[in-house]
Amino acid sequence: MQERVEVPERGLRRNAVGLGGLVAQSLGVTAPEISAVVIASVVAAKVAGATPFVFLIAGVGALGLALIYGRFARFVPHAGGTYAIVRAGLGRDAGFLAGWVVLAVGVVFVPALLVASGFLFQNFFGLVTPDATFLHSNWIFWAVCGAVFVLGCSYFGVQISARVLLTLTAIGVSMLTLFGILILAKGGAHGLAWSSFGPKGNSFHDIALAVGIAMTGFSGFETAVFLAEEAQTPRRQVPKAVVGAVLLAIVFFLFVTFSIVTGYGLDAVGKQWPTDSGGAVVGLSAQYVSLTFGKIILLLLAISAVASALGTANFTTRVAFSWGHDGYLPRAFGNTQPRYKSPYVAIAALAVFVAAVFVGGLIWQGSGLNGGLTFFSWLLQAGATGILPVYALVAIGGALHSRRHGGSVIDLLIAPALALVVVVLAEWSEFVDQVAPFKYAPYFMLAWIAIGIVLRFATRGRVAEAEAASEPVAEPALVG
């Protein structure tokens, strides 16, 4: 006999998202195209030809977390997602801190991904229309266009968001898969690089740093849980979506990174890929397919960043919506738009924060291509520093929840252990061998966490009644 809770009725559109939409939400936020090319290029700077091996290790940790999230989703179908899960496993204080950090991560990641789309569009139009200076002279124009699209889709309801995510992700993943197949079919630079699935003589230190970077590529796989109140059958579909998204991401990352390493060759990849970054798809396509094909894929990378921002906006606004209901934010955040059933107050607040981050980035780094890349990288590292400790709380909470409510040895020990090892390794890497300005990004998130701890102690008594009222009533049930 185990314990579960009913799906709350709080104004979001019920039965709006099926399994395909949930998978698209989780996979779309991971931005598989960006992760397999741009983030992987940073991994290659640390371990060169062992990039696929590093993604395999990170994938093991992500799979452990996915199993924990999947189990929790059967017990806690709640739009608060991660923070509701941590609260169920570790109590209200840990739940508050998780929600506080997840909100910050969302507010950081949405504009970061829009900035990434901006400089990728810059790069694309610089290649195809070099004389049209306006189209490739600044990232802010494209970032603002992306923001309008993302916030508009989010406002008009989760059904539209899910369809857009599913379509854009499917196109991008399909094209990059074809890109990899064509490289492998022609044998790459010096034959298929099978040894890239081993450490290739890299030190433990370098592999640890690279795993930390690769783990950010999987970040977002869990976000289907934030749509639980809008899913058709959340207890069955959400666990499948979370685990399925991680498995698909692992296969995709391994295939694409293996293809790119093969295309460059083991001897050249450590220098060439980090230099080319997202432009790797252009150079390798020109070598193995055609320059036009490479330009198309570069455009799809830019679109992928917008799609990921849309998925990130969905989960961020759902956390703010839940916090409005739970008394941590003003009650207005818990309101939904009467026609579209979207959390419009939370969406409006996110729009204000995105605009503020854009202004800060322009003042700090300017609107040039290199400035946009630097700003994106800084925001990415700040967000990763925050989400990794939350993953650790999920792993610990999963183990304790399994002990209380009868989980298997996988739930109780194996999945939490795998997740904790990789997450702790990844978090440690955020503070090691970083140069300015990136070395300051983790401390920005640590300061945010410290503010959250102080705020919790200051408001704990005031929100206790609202917390108790917002917690779902558990009922005994047999869970298969």
Q: How far is CA 401 from the centre of its chain?
A: 25
Q: Please report the pLDDT score of residue 16 as a whole number.
A: 53
**42 to 87, 263, 301: CA distances (angstroms):** 35, 17, 16
**What are the tokens at 441?**
């990004």
Nearest to 327 by CA among 467, 454, 461: 467
Helix (H) or strand (E) holding 4: strand 2-5
Greatest CA separation for the chain: 69
Q: Report the C-alpha gap between 395 and 392 in whole angstroms.
A: 5
Q: Please report the pLDDT score of residue 112 as a whole number.
A: 93
Q: Report the C-alpha gap between 360 and 444 in whole angstroms.
A: 14
Q: Report the C-alpha gap between 93 and 454 in whole angstroms.
A: 11
Cα-only R_g, the chain: 21
Answer for the pair 278, 294: CB distance below 8 angstroms, yes or no: no
- Bridge partners, 3 (sequence order): 476
Q: Report the C-alpha gap between 447 and 225 in whole angstroms.
A: 27
Q: Report the C-alpha gap between 388 and 472 in whole angstroms.
A: 27
DSSP secondary structure of 86-146: HHHHH-HHHHHHHHHHHHHHHHHHHHHHHHHHHHHHHHHHHHH-TT-HHHHS-SHHHHHHH
Query: pTM for the complete prediction?
Result: 0.84
- Provide the sign of the torsion angle of the four alpha carbons 377, 378, 379, 381, taken in this order: positive
3-state DSSP call for residue 192? coil
**Sequence-separated (6 or more) residues with CB below 8 Å from residue 194:** none
Cβ neighbours around 81 below 10 Å, total: 29
The residue type found at 98 is: A
Answer for the pair 375, 368: CB distance below 8 angstroms, yes or no: no
**310 to 24, 102, 144, 149, 325: CA distances (angstroms):** 11, 16, 13, 8, 23
Q: How far is CA 450 from the centre of its chain?
A: 23
DSSP secondary structure of 322-374: HHHHHTSS-GGGG---TTT---HHHHHHHHHHHHHHHHHHHHHH-SSHHHHHH
Long-range contacts of 194-198 (CB under 8 A, 24+ apart): 195/49, 195/266, 196/49, 196/50, 196/51, 196/52, 196/53, 196/257, 196/258, 196/261, 196/262, 196/266, 197/52, 197/53, 197/56, 197/254, 197/258, 198/50, 198/53
SS3 readout for 50-102: HHHHHHHHHHHHHHHHHHHHHHHHHHCCCCCCHHHHHHHHHCHHHHHHHHHHH
Q: How far is CA 299 from the centre of its chain?
A: 20
Please give the domain boundaries of the chain with CATH numbers for all domains: 2-464 (1.20.1740.10)
pLDDT per residue, tens digit, the chain (480 aa), is 344 445 455 445 555 555 666 666 667 667 788 889 988 998 998 899 999 999 999 999 999 988 888 887 776 654 446 777 788 789 889 989 998 998 999 999 999 999 989 988 998 999 999 888 888 889 999 999 999 999 998 888 766 766 777 788 788 889 999 999 999 999 999 999 999 999 998 988 888 878 888 888 888 787 666 555 565 566 667 778 888 888 999 999 999 999 999 999 999 999 999 888 888 999 999 999 999 999 999 998 898 888 889 888 988 998 898 888 878 889 899 898 888 888 999 999 999 999 999 999 999 999 988 888 889 889 988 988 898 899 999 899 888 888 888 778 888 889 999 999 988 988 888 888 778 898 899 999 999 999 999 989 888 888 888 777 766 544 334 343
Answer for the pair 25, 314: CB distance below 8 angstroms, yes or no: yes
